[in-house]
Structure 1
Amino acid sequence: MGSHTIAAGPSPGATAGLLSALALVIAAALVFAKLAQRLRQPVVVGEIVAGVVLGPSVLGLLPGDLVDVFFPPDVRPFLQVLSQLGLVLFMFGVGYQFDASHVRHHGLRITAVSLSSVALPFALGAGLAVLLAPWFERSQMKTDGVLAPALFLGAAMSITAFPVLARIIGERGLQKDRVGAIAVACAAIQDVLAWVILAVVVALANSTGHWPLVRMALASVALLAGLVWLVRPALVWALAPARPWSGALVTHALLVVGLLLSAWATEAIGLHAVFGAFAFGAVAPRAEVDAGAPEVPERIEQASLLLLPVFFVVTGLSVNLGGLGGHGALILLAVLVVACAGKFLGAAGAAGLTGATGQEATVLGVLMNARGLTELVILNVGLGLGVLDGQLFTAMVTMAIVTTVMTGPLLDRFHKQARPATRQSEPVDQNRDDRRPLVTSPDEAL
């Protein structure tokens, strides 16, 4: 008679530690999110800062080794799993809210601004990686050469956080303003380009030769084709309101199972799970879902919002501002200068060359510099791949926070009409989350 072994779950101590850690994470996220709102910053900024504060950068400076007390080593793997689940659910929401109209029928200015504000930061970021290569802590990295870090840093510098940017534009009533519509369209196009670049970087970092890279590329194309030509039509048929089984329960199950399987598929072929979750969200038939069970995407989003603070804490545990040292401080300064200059000059320069006014060009440069949560997603991918060391990771996370925080005040400075909407007919919901994308067609204002 064969014996069966049942895998042991977490110990009672680990379970208690996980529950207390989750309570602390959620409470800290709430406090800092409310503080961010009072400072007219997106909620996500407060939650990112909460993650850094609970890490070695702040909490670790207090006596008693509080980081290990609140987040003991046997609890951290479970926090990592929860953070990845929250990330996958969030990326499904980003894909689901993505509107293809942003990348259709766009004019010369949108094309020029999008390409320029990706190409220039990418080139500057890759060049910076080459210059910083002698300072890399190779023991913390899984790659020996400079190609993968250079490509990754270029891709990370190219990011504009589409959800956070759209929320900032919505808060300041710029949805119908030409510069706001152009910024939303450009951010959407840039996200597509940056994710494509990142997929190439991931494939290069994970492959051990030409054939594994080709196989990974073919598998990725096959997966995307299957999602578009097989999965989407099947979902359209299954989720049609006329079906006898239609309803919230079936819709919820199909979407959650689909996004998890898509995330698993991209992880299995050597890419990151976020690609599959985003792709499944993008192909999910919104018309059928909204007609039959419009509350289901909201439920998935709420689940991701509960778990995303865990992602920020897991990120914060790898950020140590106090450990930067002299080289780290120079790296941080270089990262900030390259990130801001690349985005601003790329966007503002292209806008000016295509006929935008000085104010429009400046505002576009400011808006394209917002990075936020999307940047943290990419940085965690890079840390997992081993193409970043601790100093560069800390510098890039700090850059993501700084560039997001500075967007609102600079927008108020250079665009006098950009003030939070307070009209009685359109009250501002202070509890609405800043990470939900605002879908606005650029053609309305162009």
Structure 2
Amino acid sequence: MSLTELSATFFMALAVIVVACRIMHALCKKIGQPPVVGEMIAGVLLGPSLLGLVAPQVQDWIFPEEVLSTIGVVSQLGLVLYMFTVGLEFPTDGIKRFAGPGMAVSAGGIIIPIALGFGFVYLADGAVPLFPDGISIEIGAMYVGLLLAITAFPMLARIISERGESKTRYGLLSLAAGALDDVLAWVLLAVALALAGSGTSGGAMLAGGGFVLLIVVLLILRPILARTLPRLSQEKIFAVAAVILLISAWFTDMIGIHAIFGGFALGAVIPRGAISERLIEVIRPMTVGLLLPLFFTFSGLRTDFGLLGTSSILVAGAALVVVAFAGKLGACALTARAVGESWTDSLRIGLLMNARGLIQLIALNIGLQAGLITSTTFALVVVVAIVTTLAASPGLSLVDRWARRRGEEIVSAALDSSDDLEPVLVNDGKGTA
């Protein structure tokens, strides 16, 4: 395929993706689901599970292998830019007071799912083709456990933002726990890749130490940026931010932690104010409307639900969904309750931590590329990603209705003035306040 043909086909595929995502956005809005769920489902529908099944020639024409490779690369840029805007909106001052309970919730949401993942793999091994030849059951079980332990932090942040809960107590605690959860999960993923022979023997140390180094450097840069950025023109501000963003993404990718965390780390240390608001205003629409859906389509195009046709695999899939809910929603909710949160807030935290979509799909793609899992396991975990994410919004609405029946009108707890946080009232459970 020539460069001209590749670019023409890519633009056509991009148009198809955007239209499919917009249609699914509208349908999801009608049933109270966040747009990101529609993007996940649109990706699956455009893949071999539907389009490739009913019209394989059309799928091959719209999404040839060369175009898929291009979509994969461009989708990484969309992820980095999106996580940069999430970092820009990250309430770092408010998160500080929730670091303690956030660490407890994160620990519960990591340890229990990994343990349940081991149990699932040992019971299902042999009945279901989970891993390729050459992957030991111990390494495979560790990887599946990590997939179950992951929280989709960007999705969690997006759901919280869309529901107007970014300044509530449980919203802030969920953000703190989700951020800690995913950083730790990526470090552990580096360990799994290293043990599987996909990384260096010092992969875990490189990942952890490198990320700490990046944070230190960015924190040193923060006061410098606070002094210099306001003196620059808008064009130069974007140029400086773009260069530092790309370097941060490159560095985190190089040390074995996905590039998105470089984008998030930079966004979190950029000084708040008119500059950060302008960066969000310019970057967010293009990213959410055009670039981010590419990633979901890229994952969907690699998912074939036809592999789930046998009874043993269907039973394994149902069991994996149950394990996923018990290990994340159950563990995080109980841990939050144990550290003093109310039952309603604990359930909200569990539901938010249980949504795995984006980050789980990233880790899943990495595992498939590294040869850690089979296409069957890939499809099983995609089901988990969709179901757990679908459950978040209706689950939160149910908890809101339960809270109203209990007379709990205010979602956020009383906060002192130093936190600069406002209480958010429960309204109809659909994101308005």
**Does the aligned pair in 2 maintain the 1:172–1:418 contact within 8 Å?**
no
Given candidates 275, 282, 300, the residue that maps to 2:283 is: 300
The whole-number CA distance in structure 1 between the counterparts of 2:282 and 2:99 is: 36
What does the per-residue CA deviation read over 1:111-166, in whole Å, with 9 as the maximum and x for residues that have no partner? 44332222211211233233334333654x7x522333222222221223334334
Aligned-pair CA distance for 1:373: 2.0
Output aligned runs, 1:392-403, within 5 Å: 392-403=377-388
Given candidates 117, 120, 143, the residue that maps to 1:128 is: 120
Given candidates 305, 309, 312, the residue that maps to 1:321 is: 305
The whole-number CA distance in structure 1 between the counterparts of 2:390 and 2:351 is: 11
The whole-number CA distance in structure 1 between the counterparts of 2:213 and 2:99 is: 31
Distance 1:60 1:85, change over 3 A: same
Given candidates 336, 339, 363, the residue that maps to 1:378 is: 363
Output aligned runs, 1:2-401, within 5 Å: 10-101=2-93, 104-106=96-98, 110-134=102-126, 135-136=128-129, 138-139=131-132, 144-172=135-163, 174=165, 178-205=169-196, 212-214=200-202, 216-217=203-204, 219-220=206-207, 223-234=210-221, 236-238=223-225, 240-241=227-228, 246-282=232-268, 284-287=269-272, 290-292=273-275, 294-305=277-288, 306-326=290-310, 327-401=312-386
Quick check: 75-84 or 313-322, which moved more?
Answer: 75-84
What does the per-residue CA deviation read over 1:389-417, in whole Å, with 9 as the maximum and x for residues that have no partner? 11111111111111111222222223317
Distance 1:276 1:136, change over 3 A: farther
Match of 2:410 in 1: none
The whole-number CA distance in structure 2 between the counterparts of 1:137 and 1:122 is: 16
What does the per-residue CA deviation read over 1:201-256, in whole Å, with 9 as the maximum and x for residues that have no partner? 34444556xxx322x44544564354344454346425625775x12222212222
Distance 1:207 1:67, change over 3 A: closer
Distance 1:133 1:189, change over 3 A: same
Corresponding letter in the other structure for 2:259: A
Distance 1:243 1:182, change over 3 A: closer
Aligned-pair CA distance for 1:294: 3.5
SS in 1 for 2:65: coil
Between the two structures, name the one with larger relative contact order (CA 8 Å, sep ≥ 6). 1
Identity within the alignment, %: 37
The whole-number CA distance in structure 1 between the counterparts of 2:58 and 2:366 is: 27
The whole-number CA distance in structure 1 between the counterparts of 2:317 and 2:301 is: 18
Corresponding letter in the other structure for 2:227: A
Aligned-pair CA distance for 1:170: 4.7
The whole-number CA distance in structure 2 between the counterparts of 1:27 and 1:41 is: 18
What does the per-residue CA deviation read over 1:167-210, in whole Å, with 9 as the maximum and x for residues that have no partner? 444555555655444434433433333333334334444556xx
The whole-number CA distance in structure 2 between the counterparts of 1:168 and 1:312 is: 17
What does the per-residue CA deviation read over 1:258-283, in whole Å, with 9 as the maximum and x for residues that have no partner? 2222322333344433343334334x
Distance 1:285 1:174, change over 3 A: closer
The whole-number CA distance in structure 2 between the counterparts of 1:13 and 1:45 is: 32
Aligned-pair CA distance for 1:381: 2.3
The whole-number CA distance in structure 1 between the counterparts of 2:119 and 2:334 is: 20
**Does the aligned pair in 1 maintain the 2:129–2:374 contact within 8 Å?**
yes
Corresponding letter in the other structure for 1:256: A
SS in 1 for 2:33: coil
Aligned-pair CA distance for 1:324: 1.5
Distance 1:378 1:442, change over 3 A: farther
TM-score, scaled relative to structure 2: 0.82
TM-score, scaled relative to structure 1: 0.79
> Pairwise CA RMSD of aligned residues?
3.2
Aligned-pair CA distance for 1:86: 1.6
Aligned-pair CA distance for 1:54: 0.4
Distance 1:130 1:259, change over 3 A: farther
Q: How many residues align?
A: 407
